[in-house]
Amino acid sequence: MTVPIITLSDGVQIPQLGFGTFKIPQEDAERAVSEALRIGYRHIDTAAIYGNEVGVGAAIAASGLRRNEIFLTTKLWNDMHHYATARVAVETSLEKLGLDHIDLYLIHWPATLKYGDSYLEAWDALQEFKAEGLTRSIGVSNFNVAHLDAISGEIPSVNQVEIHPSLTQNELRAELANRSIVCEAWSPLGRGSDLSEPTIVRIAAELGRTPAQITIRWHLQLGNIVIPKSLTPARIAENLDVFNFELTTEQLDAITALDRDARTGSNPALADF
Ligand SMILES: NC(=O)c1ccc[n+]([C@@H]2O[C@H](COP(=O)([O-])OP(=O)(O)OC[C@H]3O[C@@H](n4cnc5c(N)ncnc54)[C@H](OP(=O)(O)O)[C@@H]3O)[C@@H](O)[C@H]2O)c1
């Protein structure tokens, strides 16, 4: 089992498949992330707002892996965009994680309805943090094209956005590719809701795989970074066991055709938190 490595526009290398930790409470985070690292995940996605950075860091420390064998993403929360608060936020995340640097630090949401254009200042702050070595790479999350146009300086290495078969985001993905910004899919399984789509169930039966494996494979073959979350050890393993089969072009296209612009999370243009 070898997870493909994607080289970001800044030269930093990221495993294409990672482990998501949204809604994993602090008390479960060390166990879940430890299990993920034990079976071969090397890329962990967390965020300050998830409240589990201490548990994630404890799992990393207990893993016995060298720091450069693990790729860790965390995110700046919306009420910390201004320069001084962003610095407090990154230092707090590093302390909770028990790390001296992050691999990828993201602006979690542009959050313009509540915080105006403060995300512009956040992007300037992240560039300083990268220059100081607090993070190896910097990117954004939940940005639309207008947000990407508005920031200045370095190009984000990734944009982490909601993508799954019922929300394929074809136009945004094409635009990110034009800008050499790698697309990272959050809620890649549609939080489980896409797994009962008849087309996915049919392809899973044809290939003797599970619907989750088919969906993760679809992301990988589209070129998305993909970060499924599970608290269930069998599913954590199932979601990593996706490197010994391929979808045909017809199967990929049939899944992409499931798009109905159906979000499981907030629309970045309407997010008021
Ligand atoms: N940037 C952002 O704004 C943002 C927003 C949301 C998420 N994220 C990131 O993206 C990650 C993934 O998104 P997500 O957690 O929202 O959703 P997801 O990964 O699409 O789905 C997680 C759900 O699917 C279930 N599941 C996982 N593997 C399964 C399998 N093999 N078979 C059946 N069900 C399975 C999980 O159940 P169990 O846990 O019970 O097994 C859980 O209920 C997050 O954890 C987080 O790191 C980022």
Give me the residue label for tokens 């982490």.
160
Closest approach atom of ligand 1 to CA 45: 47
DSSP for residue 262: -
Residue 215 included in any domain: no
Mean of the pLDDT values across residues 1-28?
A: 96
Please identify every residue annotated as catalytic.
50
Whether ligand 1 lies within 6 angstroms of the CB of 141 is answered as: yes
Is pLDDT of 1 > 80? no
Domain region containing 103: 5-192+223-231
Nearest alpha carbon, ligand 1 atom 22: 191
Cα 119 from Cα 167, distance rounded (Å): 25
Residue 208 included in any domain: no
Number of domains in the chain: 1
Q: What is the mean pLDDT of the chain?
A: 98
pLDDT band at 258 (very low <50, low <70, confident <90, very high): very high
pLDDT given for residue 4 in this prediction: 98
Mean of the pLDDT values across residues 134-160?
A: 98
Nearest to 15 by CA among 29, 34, 1, 32: 1
Whether ligand 1 lies within 6 angstroms of the CB of 232 is answered as: yes
pLDDT given for residue 150 in this prediction: 98
Residue 272 included in any domain: no
- Specify the CATH number for the domain of residue 53: 3.20.20.100
* Residue % of the chain over a pLDDT of 90: 99
Mean of the pLDDT values across residues 195-220?
A: 98
Is pLDDT of 262 > 90? yes
Residue 270 included in any domain: no
Query: Which pTM was predicted?
Result: 0.98
pLDDT band at 36 (very low <50, low <70, confident <90, very high): very high
Residue 183 included in any domain: yes
Residue 164 included in any domain: yes
Residue 265 included in any domain: no
Is pLDDT of 130 > 80? yes
Closest approach atom of ligand 1 to CA 236: 28
Whether ligand 1 lies within 6 angstroms of the CB of 191 is answered as: yes
DSSP, residue by residue, 33-49 = HHHHHHHT--EEE--GG
Cα 109 from Cα 115, distance rounded (Å): 10
